């Protein structure tokens, strides 16, 4: 396949001329739309404080609030802020700082040391909604829940049988509630509460084990999540509905990291494992060479590729092959559509354990690669590999952009901080492996996890190691990633497409065929291709942006490179006359995906009627400029592939280039004109109506 001139900016300047047929002129989206959009701003916090039990797991990444709770919160537009119940709780007023508080601990004694009950009563009295998951975190007894208007009965030690006597439609989300016959205590919330689940014992003692209350809500163990086995969990309660009602969360537009300009984002990233292995069809060919020739050369789309420097450096595992291996890496990194990443020096398998005791574990194959005379340290693994790649492997004017975590992908706070110090993105971790055989939200990972003062970004999907049963077979198993991509798109778009694999996929015929099947399917989807570093930045922007209600609409600030909002259709259409920096929208399932322009802030105003003026419906590139000025629209796009874009409300209009030659739409229907500019790197376009 002939290489395209990949990094020539594909830029279009679109000029839309509109006849005055809509009753009023269009406004400049980059100008103040009839007043200061900040007028009457009411602060809408996007952070939710999650009280968790740090004794529940060896790492915050392995606690239930991170594994299961963060995903629905992220989808709803919120950022969980984790607070260990073993540490001193935040003091002072939290009103206006957090949208609510979630208490998710594993027993009713976890909060005794920090006097959790008294602290929560204070937050309740300050009108901060509270949601309890599994346990209250403090002894209930006969009066412990009095401040929460919950009456407690006498505990029944070992009832013979417990039955469900009432279950609302919020229950049975992925699995029906199944009571356990253990210690049983009748609970009854106030009459103003809405009971979600009621159970009773053989003596007729009733207990309301899940409810929405005037101060928030609760769902007790095991009626939030039930474990079929140790690694197979199911939501019993609908987490979206429960969090929304218990925390009084508004129906509003939310930031979205899966989509831009109406198209689902797509990235590709490659871990460097087995770069040095040989292919089964040619024992003289390295996997690194096979991957470049059969995958990277064929699929010329943004791809983030890493190497393990301890495998290819002269002081590494294979000094006799080092020069040949480094030449292969150099060739790959010269490809314009390849972004450079590091996959460490010694591929640590258990990051935090080996960091704590490097003298004991360095060279142990259970902990890292057995590189002669090497003692693990973070600087060599991260900074050292970045410097090595930049000095010996990267072409001129191209540097390492990402660090891809290895092994258990659970680095320490110090390790994550080092990637920020080195000014590279970091990614990997999370287990998004939902498939038709295991169709559960519990197998969709959140955006990432905080580590100290910094954030570890999770991969949007998992790699072929998972789909091939830890590379034991079947080696065509990665084809099932297509199931994951479909299930994380509908009915809710939870993730972008992420084709994620290792070099060892290039060692077997079956795995290479599977990989090509996944690529070929993905390239038939309407996507916008990005690099892993761009996805990383969008996640960071998700964590910091603000969306606040004003007298006019919703004001978005500090969104950086995150350019898409998701809005329930029930809120209406974007009003393109009154909105600011809103350049179009596109429907998907029950939502509208609303596109933000490049201005520093945006104002979204709703209207019950569809817009009549032209707008950008979808594009496979980024918007650099979008200015409405009277009857014109000036617009510039750039992308990594030949541009395909759809303009809406184009009835009676035509598109001409800078030579006044009319361009034919590839497809036209009901005023939606789709244009495909094969091989076009730049040009001036004029829409005449």
Entry pTM: 0.94
Report pLDDT digits (tens) over 543-566: 999 999 999 999 999 999 999 999
Of 2.40.128, 1.10.287, 1.10.3470, 3.40.50, which CATH number belongs to 47-249? 3.40.50
Tell how far CA 363 is from the center of its chain.
34
Instruction: Compute the chain's Rg from CA coordinates.
Output: 27
Residue 32 has pLDDT above 60, yes or no: no
The pLDDT value given to residue 5: 42
Q: Is the pLDDT of residue 471 over 80?
A: yes
User: Could you report the per-residue pLDDT of 627-651, keeping only the tens digit for each?
Assistant: 887 667 778 888 999 999 999 998 8
Q: Which ranges of 212-336 would DSSP assign to H, the alpha helix? A: 239-246, 287-291, 309-312, 322-334
- Vertex 104 angle, CA 453 and 175, to 5°: 125
pLDDT digits (tens, 9 = 90+) for 564-616: 999 999 999 999 999 999 999 999 999 999 999 999 999 999 999 999 998 99
Q: Give residue-wise pLDDT tens across range 270-302.
A: 999 999 999 999 999 999 999 999 999 999 999
Q: What is the mean pLDDT of residues 187-198?
A: 98
Predicted confidence (pLDDT) per residue in 89-134, tens digit: 999 889 999 999 999 999 999 999 999 999 999 999 999 999 999 9
Give the pLDDT score at 686. 67
Contact status, residue 164 vs residue 144, Cβ threshold 8 Å: no
Closest CA to 527 of 270, 295, 299: 299
Q: Which helix (H) or strand (E) holds 82?
A: strand 79-84
In the numeric block, the tokens 């303009």 are attached to 647
CA dist., res. 245 & res. 100, Å (int): 11
pLDDT, tens digit (0-9, with 9 covering 90-100), for 496-510:
999 999 999 999 999
Q: Which residues of 41-64 are buried (b: 16+ CB within 10 A; e: fewer)?
A: beebbbbbbbbbbbebeebbbebb
Alpha-carbon span 427 to 146, nearest angstrom = 46
List, by residue range, all CATH 3.20.20.370 domains of the chain: 258-537
pLDDT at 662: 83
pLDDT digits (tens, 9 = 90+) for 669-683: 888 999 888 754 445
Give the architecture (CATH level 2) of 258-537: Alpha-Beta Barrel (3.20)
Residues of the chain with CATH 3.40.50: 47-249
Q: Quick one: CA dihedral 591, 597, 602, 604, positive or negative?
A: negative
pLDDT in tens, 380-392: 999 999 999 999 9
pLDDT of residue 661: 82
Segment 332-380, tens digit of pLDDT: 999 999 999 999 999 999 999 999 999 999 999 999 999 999 999 999 9
């Amino acid at each position: 396949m002939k290489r395209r001139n990949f990094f020539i900016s594909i830029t279009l300047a679109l000029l839309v001329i509109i006849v005055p047929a809509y009753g009023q002129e269009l406004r400049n989206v980059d100008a103040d739309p009839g007043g200061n959009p900040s007028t009457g701003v009411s602060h809408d916090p996007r952070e939710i404080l999650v009280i968790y039990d740090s004794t529940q797991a060896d790492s915050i990444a392995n606690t239930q609030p991170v594994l299961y709770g963060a995903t629905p919160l992220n989808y709803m537009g919120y950022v969980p802020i984790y607070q260990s119940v073993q540490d001193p709780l935040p003091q002072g007023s939290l009103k206006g700082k957090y949208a609510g508080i979630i208490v998710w601990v594993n027993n009713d004694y976890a909060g005794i040391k920090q006097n959790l009950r008294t602290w929560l009563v204070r937050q309740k009295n300050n009108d901060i909604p509270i949601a309890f998951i599994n346990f209250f975190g403090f002894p209930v007894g006969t009066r412990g829940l009095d401040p929460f208007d919950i009456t407690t009965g006498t505990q029944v030690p070992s009832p013979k049988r417990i039955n469900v006597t009432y279950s609302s439609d919020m229950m049975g989300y992925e699995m029906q509630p199944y009571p356990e016959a253990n210690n049983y205590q009748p609970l009854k919330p106030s009459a103003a509460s809405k009971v979600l689940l009621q159970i009773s014992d053989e003596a007729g003692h009733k207990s309301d084990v899940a409810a929405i209350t005037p101060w928030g809500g609760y769902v007790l163990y095991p009626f939030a999540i039930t474990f079929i086995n140790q690694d197979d969990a199911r939501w019993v309660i609908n987490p979206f509905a429960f969090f929304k009602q218990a925390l009084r969360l508004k129906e509003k537009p939310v930031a979205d990291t899966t989509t831009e300009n109406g198209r689902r984002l797509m990235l590709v990233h490659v871990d460097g494992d087995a770069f040095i292995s040989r292919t089964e069809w040619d024992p003289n060919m390295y996997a690194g060479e096979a991957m470049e020739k059969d995958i990277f050369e064929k699929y010329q789309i943004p791809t983030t590729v890493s190497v393990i420097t301890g495998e290819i450096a002269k002081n590494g595992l294979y000094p006799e092959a080092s020069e040949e291996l480094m030449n292969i890496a150099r060739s790959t990194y010269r490809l314009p559509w390849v972004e450079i990443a590091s996959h460490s020096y010694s591929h640590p398998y258990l990051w935090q354990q080996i960091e704590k005791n490097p003298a004991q574990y360095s060279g142990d194959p259970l902990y890292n690669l057995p590189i002669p005379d090497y003692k693990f340290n973070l600087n060599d693994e991260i900074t050292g590999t970045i410097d090595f790649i930049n000095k010996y492997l990267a072409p001129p004017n191209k540097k390492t952009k990402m660090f891809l975590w290895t092994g258990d992908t659970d680095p320490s706070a110090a390790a994550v901080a080092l990637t920020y110090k080195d000014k590279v993105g970091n990614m990997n971790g999370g287990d998004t492996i939902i498939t038709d055989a295991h169709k559960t939200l519990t197998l969709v990972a959140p955006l990432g996890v905080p580590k100290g003062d910094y954030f570890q970004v999770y991969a949007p999907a998992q790699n072929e190691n998972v789909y091939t049963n830890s590379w034991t077979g079947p080696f065509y198993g990665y084809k099932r990633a297509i199931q994951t991509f479909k299930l994380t798109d509908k009915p809710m778009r939870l993730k972008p497409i992420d084709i994620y694999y290792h070099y060892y996929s290039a060692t077997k015929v079956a795995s290479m065929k599977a990989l090509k099947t996944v690529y070929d399917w993905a390239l038939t989807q309407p996507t916008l291709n990005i690099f892993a570093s761009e996805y990383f930045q969008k996640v960071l922007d998700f964590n910091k942006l603000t969306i606040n209600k004003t007298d006019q609409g919703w004001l978005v600030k500090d969104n950086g490179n995150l350019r898409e909002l998701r809005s329930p259709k029930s809120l209406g259409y974007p009003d393109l006359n009154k909105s600011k920096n809103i350049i179009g929208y596109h429907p998907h399932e029950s939502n509208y995906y609303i596109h933000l322009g490049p201005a520093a802030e945006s104002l979204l105003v709703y209207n019950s009627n569809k817009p009549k003026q032209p707008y950008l419906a979808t594009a496979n590139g980024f918007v650099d400029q979008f200015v409405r000025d009277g009857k014109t629209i000036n617009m510039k796009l750039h992308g990594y592939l030949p541009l395909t874009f759809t303009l809406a409300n184009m009835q009676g209009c035509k598109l001409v280039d800078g030579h006044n030659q009319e361009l034919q739409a590839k497809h036209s229907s009901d005023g939606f004109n789709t244009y495909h500019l094969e091989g076009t790197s730049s040009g001036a376009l004029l829409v005449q109506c």
